[in-house]
């Protein structure tokens, strides 16, 4: 009976999730226990008469965080225990309840899934809601000790005030130009490279592709200094060339398109060659139409990444006429220097203006993103 019940529990998709939660809970409890031991050892060696602040500063990381580790551990342990009990009960009575009861339980499960999805969605959307609401508040209301979820008085003038304080139109034009050319560059070079790695037959192909994948493992911040030195020597600081050139090739784009091209059977390419298509013709008329969902997805991701890019534009643009939106929003705070109150409401208004275009693009093209991601996952 125990083996049968355990087998039924393991057949449920919740069993693996509950096991993962249990492992995480035990890890937190172990860290909390290590913190308790560290705290006792350190407290025994501390001199008498020191203040509580000095004690906190002297304690190590695990000792000072032991309370949080133990709290999280016990919460997760309790949740996993309750989940295992419910799963065991439902698995035991699975074959002993009537059809109507099973139907009600199934409906209850679907209802719980909807409720969980709604809660997670609200948690994810709340920062965007708070940003929009904050952009319509007065500075005094935004800095109140008790925050308000809705503006007491709408301040629509925050948006024109931001446009007056900083050249946001110029930021917008720079962002559009750099993002569009980055996306076009990654499209052209990425598709050609992906074709070579997927359908080409030359010596060292797989080794070169491994090197391309290795580029994904290197944090982009590591390469900022040598690339900046190169851009400086070329005289491309404070120019569109400096914003665009270092981002014209994406290892992620090449990887995604290579996987999609490999899924296309070679017989389609052979048929195209019989019809007289060149390599460019095969890519344009055969491979690209057959991998359109993935192509659209990675293009959208490239556009979003270029639009939200901050670190590289922050380094390569030192004058206002070359800054992008992400850098411009960060610069808004400096325009309020010397004022009695920092106008965070206007900073939020600038953030809204920077985010709205990319949010609209995502809402319009989300079906292509989901389709491309699902196809890439299956491949």
Does residue 84 lie in a domain region?
yes
Do residues 243 and 166 both lie within one domain?
Answer: yes
- CA distances 204 to 196, 208, 210, 256, Å, are 11, 6, 10, 20
Does residue 91 lie in a domain region?
yes
**Is residue 108 scored above 70 in pLDDT?**
yes
What pLDDT is attached to residue 44?
Answer: 74
Do residues 173 and 80 both lie within one domain?
Answer: no
Helix axes of 66-92 and 13-44: crossing angle, nearest 10 degrees: 150
Does residue 129 lie in a domain region?
no
Query: Could you tell me the two tokens for 357?
Result: 């275009």
| Cα–Cα distance, 230 to 100 (Å, whole number) | 71
Does residue 337 lie in a domain region?
yes
| Cα–Cα distance, 335 to 323 (Å, whole number) | 15
Q: Domain residues for 234?
A: 158-378
Q: By percentage, how much of the chain surpasses pLDDT 90?
A: 9
- CA distances 224 to 177, 251, 308, 323, Å, are 21, 16, 17, 17
Does residue 130 lie in a domain region?
no
Question: Nearest CA to 221 among 149, 113, 309?
Answer: 309
Instruction: Tell me the pLDDT band of 191, cut-offs 50, 70 and 90.
Output: very high
DSSP class per residue in 285-317: IIIHHHTHHHHHHHHHHHHHHHHH--HHHHHH-
Do residues 88 and 172 both lie within one domain?
Answer: no
**Burial per residue of 176-195, b for 16 or more beta-carbon CB atoms within 10 angstroms, e otherwise:** eebbebbbebbbeebbebbb
9-42, pLDDT tens digit by residue?
666 667 777 888 889 999 999 988 988 888 888 7
| Cα–Cα distance, 272 to 214 (Å, whole number) | 33
90 burial type by CB count under 10 A (0-12 exposed, 13-18 middle, 19+ buried)? middle
How far separated are the first and last CA of the chain, in Å rounded?
A: 40
Rounded to an integer, the average pLDDT of 201-214 is 87
Does residue 151 lie in a domain region?
no
What pLDDT is attached to residue 362?
Answer: 77
Query: Could you tell me the two tokens for 233?
Result: 């020597």
26-83, pLDDT tens digit by residue?
999 998 898 888 888 877 777 776 667 676 767 777 778 888 888 989 998 898 888 8
* Domain harbouring 369, CATH code: 1.10.3720.10
Choosing from 68, 96, 124, the residue where a domain stops is 96
115-145, pLDDT tens digit by residue?
888 988 888 889 888 888 888 888 778 777 7
Do residues 221 and 314 both lie within one domain?
Answer: yes
Q: By percentage, how much of the chain surpasses pLDDT 70?
A: 84
Do residues 206 and 335 both lie within one domain?
Answer: yes
334-377, pLDDT tens digit by residue?
655 545 456 778 888 888 888 888 888 777 777 766 665 665 55
Does residue 330 lie in a domain region?
yes
Instruction: Tell me the pLDDT band of 179, cut-offs 50, 70 and 90.
Output: very high
Do residues 202 and 304 both lie within one domain?
Answer: yes
Do residues 311 and 202 both lie within one domain?
Answer: yes
Do residues 199 and 310 both lie within one domain?
Answer: yes
Does residue 357 lie in a domain region?
yes
Instruction: Tell me the pLDDT band of 2, cut-offs 50, 70 and 90.
Output: very low
**Is residue 95 scored above 90 in pLDDT?**
no
- Cβ distance 162 to 350 under 8 Å? yes
Number of structural domains found in the chain = 2
336 three-class SS: coil
């Amino acid at each position: 009976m125990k083996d049968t019940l355990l087998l039924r529990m393991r057949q449920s998709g919740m069993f693996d999730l509950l096991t993962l939660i249990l492992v995480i809970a035990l890890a937190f409890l172990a860290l909390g226990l290590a913190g308790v031991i560290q705290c006792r050892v350190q407290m025994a060696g501390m001199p008498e008469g020191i203040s509580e602040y000095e004690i906190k500063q002297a304690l190590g990381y695990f000792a000072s965080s032991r309370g949080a580790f133990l709290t999280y551990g016990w919460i997760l342990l309790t949740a996993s225990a309750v989940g295992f009990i419910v799963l065991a009960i439902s698995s035991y009575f699975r074959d002993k309840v009537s059809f109507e009861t099973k139907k009600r339980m199934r409906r209850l499960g679907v209802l719980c899934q909807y409720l969980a999805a709604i809660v997670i969605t609200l948690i994810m959307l709340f920062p965007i809601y708070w940003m929009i609401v904050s952009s319509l508040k007065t500075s005094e209301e935004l800095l109140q000790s008790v925050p308000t979820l809705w503006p007491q008085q709408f301040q629509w003038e925050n948006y024109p005030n931001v446009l007056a304080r900083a050249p946001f139109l110029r930021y917008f034009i720079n962002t559009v130009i750099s993002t569009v050319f980055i996306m076009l560059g990654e499209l052209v070079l990425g598709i050609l490279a992906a074709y070579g790695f997927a359908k080409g037959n030359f010596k060292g192909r797989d080794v070169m592709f491994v090197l391309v994948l290795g580029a994904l493992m290197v944090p982009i911040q590591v390469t900022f200094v040598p690339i900046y030195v190169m851009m400086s020597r070329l005289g491309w600081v404070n120019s569109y060339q400096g914003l665009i050139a270092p981002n014209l090739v994406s290892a992620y784009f090449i990887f995604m398109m290579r996987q999609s091209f490999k899924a296309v059977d070679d017989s389609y390419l052979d048929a195209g060659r019989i019809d007289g298509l060149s390599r460019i013709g095969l890519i344009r008329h055969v491979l690209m139409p057959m991998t359109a969902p993935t192509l659209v997805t990675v293009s959208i991701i490239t556009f979003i990444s270029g639009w939200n890019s901050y670190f590289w534009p922050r380094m390569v643009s030192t004058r206002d006429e070359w800054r992008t939106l992400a850098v411009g929003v960060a610069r808004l705070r400096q325009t309020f220097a010397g004022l009695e109150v920092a106008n965070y409401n206007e900073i939020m208004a600038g953030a809204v203006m920077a985010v709205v275009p990319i949010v609209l693009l995502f809402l319009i093209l989300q079906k292509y993103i989901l389709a491309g991601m699902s196809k890439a996952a299956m491949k």
